């Protein structure tokens, strides 16, 4: 099973500043990587898939990059509504498409 | 994109059985994978397994194989997750979600979640 490790566990960023979240895979997942946002008390929501493709409705301030084992989600200018836990997910290793443990993003 | 609506919260005792549901609408339900994801209290997301309703092709995570049963009834656009004998460790929020990336690999939209509490 591929293990996904996210860092940091918690990130505090000032409004309008850039937030950078990391995700590392225990082995290569090629470009089979998605990011989800889970706001407090809500279900997860798909933000990005195939490393860098924004899902329908995802604001342009969210971008993804990386390949192989190292991936990054960047929020270019943090808004208050971005407070959430963010999860990466690999979908390269069938049949178990594992999630990372999450990064909690807070407003400083 | 459609939507998924899950059945309501459940409180059960250890050893009891349970079947929760996920009804899809606004899209061709049989032709999209449905995944089940567990979230234990205060914890992250765990991929449990998925089903393709048109053929009832089912894939389980090794961690959940034999622990739960995933099924679907395409005639009523509904997927199910069931347990034959619940344990306290089965307590958590369970989400269903629809395939967004082909092959059932990434997911949108998600259901609102079903909270399962197992306690004596």
Query: In which band, very low, low, confident or very high, does the pLDDT at A12 lie, cut at 50, 70 and 90?
Result: very high
Best of B62, B93, B102, B107 to mutate (most A CBs within 10 Å, chain A): B107
Cβ contact (<8 Å) for B95 and A97? no
Instruction: Return the residue in A3, A86, A90, A96 with the most chain B beta carbons within 10 A, the one to mutate for interface testing.
Output: A96
Segment holding B100, helix H or strand E: none
User: Pairing mode, if any, of strands B45-52 and B57-60?
Assistant: antiparallel
Which chain A residues touch B if contact means CB-CB below 8 Å? 1, 32, 34, 36, 38, 43-46, 49-50, 55-56, 85, 87, 89, 91, 94-102
pLDDT of res. A64: 98
Comparing B103 with B19, which gets the higher pLDDT?
A: B19
* Contact assessment for residue B39 and residue B46, using Cβ atoms and an 8 Å cutoff: yes
> What percentage of chain A reaches a pLDDT higher than 70?
100
Inter-chain contact A46–B106, Cβ cutoff 8 Å?
yes
The closest CB to that of A55, out of B47, B63, B100, belongs to B100
**Residue B21 confidence (pLDDT):** 98
Q: Determine contact, residues B71/B93, Cβ cutoff 8 Å.
A: no
Residues A34, B1: C-beta atoms closer than 8 Å: no
- Chain A contacts of B58, Cβ < 8 Å? none
Show the beta-strand stretches assigned E in chain A. 4-7, 10-13, 19-25, 33-38, 45-49, 53-54, 62-67, 70-75, 84-90, 103-107
In this predicted structure, what is the pLDDT of residue A96? 83
Q: Kindly report, residue by residue over B39-65, the tens digit of the pLDDT.
A: 999 999 999 999 999 999 999 999 999
pLDDT at A38: 98
Task: Please indicate whether, in this complex, the C-beta atoms of B107 and A46 are within 8 angstroms of each other.
Answer: yes
Please, are residues A89 and A99 in contact by the beta-carbon 8 Å criterion?
yes
């Amino acid at each position: 099973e591929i293990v996904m490790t996210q860092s940091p566990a918690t990130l505090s960023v000032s409004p309008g500043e850039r937030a950078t979240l990391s995700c590392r895979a225990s082995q290569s997942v090629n470009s089979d990587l998605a990011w989800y946002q889970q706001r407090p008390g809500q279900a997860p929501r798909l933000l990005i898939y195939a490393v860098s493709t924004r899902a329908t409705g995802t604001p342009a301030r969210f971008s993804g990059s990386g390949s192989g084992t190292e991936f990054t989600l960047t929020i270019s200018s943090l808004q208050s509504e971005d407070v959430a836990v963010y999860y990466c997910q690999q979908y390269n290793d069938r049949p178990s498409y594992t999630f990372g443990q999450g990064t909690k993003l807070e407003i400083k | 994109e459609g939507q998924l609506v899950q059945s309501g919260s459940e409180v059960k005792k250890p050893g009891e059985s349970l079947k929760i549901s996920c009804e899809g609408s606004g899209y061709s339900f049989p032709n999209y994978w449905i995944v089940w994801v567990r979230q234990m209290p205060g914890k992250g997301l765990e991929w449990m397994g998925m089903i393709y309703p048109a053929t009832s092709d089912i894939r389980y995570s090794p961690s959940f194989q034999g622990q739960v049963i995933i099924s679907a009834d395409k005639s009523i656009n509904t997927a199910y997750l069931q347990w034959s004998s619940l344990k306290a460790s089965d307590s958590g929020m369970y989400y269903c979600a629809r395939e967004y990336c082909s092959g059932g690999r990434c997911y949108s939209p998600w259901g609102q979640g079903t909270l399962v509490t197992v306690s004596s």
